Amino acid sequence: DGTPVTAEAVKLSFERLLKIGQGPAEAFPKDLKIDAPDEHTVKFTLSQPFAPFLYTLANDGASIINPAVLKE
Dmax over Cα atoms in the chain, in whole Å?
37
Whole-angstrom Cα distance, residue 32 to residue 43?
A: 10
55 CB-near residues (< 8 Å, 6+ apart) = none
Tell me how many degrees the CA angle 24-29-32 measures, rounded to the nearest 5. Answer: 105
How many CA atoms are closer than 13 Å to the CA of 59, on its beta-carbon side? 14
Whole-angstrom Cα distance, residue 8 to residue 30?
A: 20
Domain presence at residue 2: no
Domain presence at residue 18: yes
Based on the structure, what is the number of domains in the chain?
1
Structural domain span for residue 38:
7-59
Domain presence at residue 49: yes
pLDDT means per 10 residues in the chain (72 residues)?
92 93 89 96 96 92 90 76
